[in-house]
Amino acid sequence: MEIGIVGLPNVGKSTIFNALTSGDATASNFPFTTIEANLGVVPVPDSRLDRLTELFKPQKTTPAFCRFVDIAGLGKGAAQGEGLGNKFLAHIREVDAILHMVRLFQNANVEHTLGDVDAQRDIDVIETELMLADLESVTKQFDKISGKARTGDTAAKDTLELLHILKRGLEEGKPARTLGLAPESLKPFFLLTAKPVLYVGNTDEHTDPAVMEAFQACIQKLDAESVVLCGKLESELAELSGEDRNLFMADLGMQHSGLERVIVAAYNTLGLCSYFTGGPKEVRAWTIPMGAKAPQAAGVIHSDFEKGFIKADVYGFTNLDRYGSEQTLREKGLIRLEGKDYVVKDGDVCHFKFNV
């Protein structure tokens, strides 16, 4: 799954991307410093993997991963192609979710392209540009399919009805994801505002509490998930490792870094969860959509597992953590044999049985 980092220029997107990925995307005080999108693959932090590794003692441990894309700053007029807008919007169309960076810090040395810090206005500017781009796309598709619908084509009529709802909603300033339409029905239109959004507020040590409150009020109205972090601090943390990092976090009273919270929140925003497989060769976290049934979960490992699925031995991580071995779980009857209709839950440990 790919998550695109978007926002106005100079809000700290490349700084956060670098901290997330230990990458070297350019970060500077110039709008549109990022021209081509940068891609980084980031492990999803999960303390359960450490415990499974301790118990199974495998040759290797593999976490789940998210891919983050650092997309250049958008501004007013992006939907009309200003500031390389068309190119940047095309990058956003390719991702599965949006991480919207919002600037909450004041810094005279880092230009704010709109003059001052205002979370509501900045969020509205980006959202408006995405809606304008979607409205243009929907209008073109509406005009194109109208002719087919007039000939009596049933499928075209249904599509036109859906496009009409989208067009009217976008004209009223409503993102596609807020119109109550089934996500599956929106996929063929590749709309920017249909994508789930995680808002990340970027602060510094001088951020005004009133600015923070305004950001939180904004997010509450949007009924969205959010994380607040300090980009500068996260960059410093990302440069440390092992004991130095732990000590630094302990001094700051941090249990989890802001970036860890961002990754977990992004995972949740996408509606994903993890199940595990474990043995002497490998302990691994596998990413699945919430609500996936056992055959689909098995198919993430290999398509043959899904095609030839028979049954799965399943138990919860919490039981293994408590009792310490699969042998004890068997003796206590805590390993279940599940079939094709079983919905795999976050934290399940699965052993699939299949026959191709």
Domains and CATH numbers, the chain: 2-44+65-268 (3.40.50.300), 291-354 (3.10.20.30)
How does residue 73 score in pLDDT terms, banded at 50, 70 and 90?
low
Mean pLDDT of 81-89: 53
Distance (Å, rounded) from C-alpha 92 to C-alpha 141? Answer: 19
pLDDT in tens, 96-122: 999 999 999 988 778 777 788 899 999
Distance (Å, rounded) from C-alpha 351 to C-alpha 349? Answer: 7
Distance (Å, rounded) from C-alpha 10 to C-alpha 29? Answer: 6
The percent of residues above 90 in pLDDT, for the chain, comes to 56
- What is the maximal distance between C-alpha atoms in the chain? 70
Residues 6+ apart with CB under 8 A from 125: 8, 74, 75, 76, 114
pLDDT at 33: 41
Residue 84 vs residue 153, higher pLDDT = 153
* pLDDT at 238 exceeding the cut of 90: no
Q: What's phi and psi for 263, nearest 5 deg?
A: -65, -45
How does residue 9 score in pLDDT terms, banded at 50, 70 and 90?
confident
By mean pLDDT, which of 85-99, 189-203, 259-273 is the weakest? Answer: 85-99
Edge-to-edge strand ranges of the sheet holding 197-203: 38-43, 65-70, 2-6, 97-103, 197-203, 225-230
By mean pLDDT, which of 79-83, 102-106, 231-235, 279-283 is the weakest? Answer: 79-83
Residue 336 vs residue 40, higher pLDDT = 336
Please state, rounded to an integer, the average pLDDT across all residues of the chain: 87
* pLDDT at 300 exceeding the cut of 60: yes
Alpha-carbon distances of 336 from 29, 226, 342, rounded to whole Å: 57, 37, 11
pLDDT in tens, 172-226: 999 999 999 998 899 999 999 999 999 999 998 889 999 999 999 999 998 889 9
pLDDT in tens, 61-71: 999 988 888 88
Distance (Å, rounded) from C-alpha 135 to C-alpha 54? Answer: 53
Q: What is the pTM of this model?
A: 0.83
Distance (Å, rounded) from C-alpha 337 to C-alpha 181? Answer: 37
Residues 6+ apart with CB under 8 A from 79: 85, 89, 129, 130, 132, 133, 136
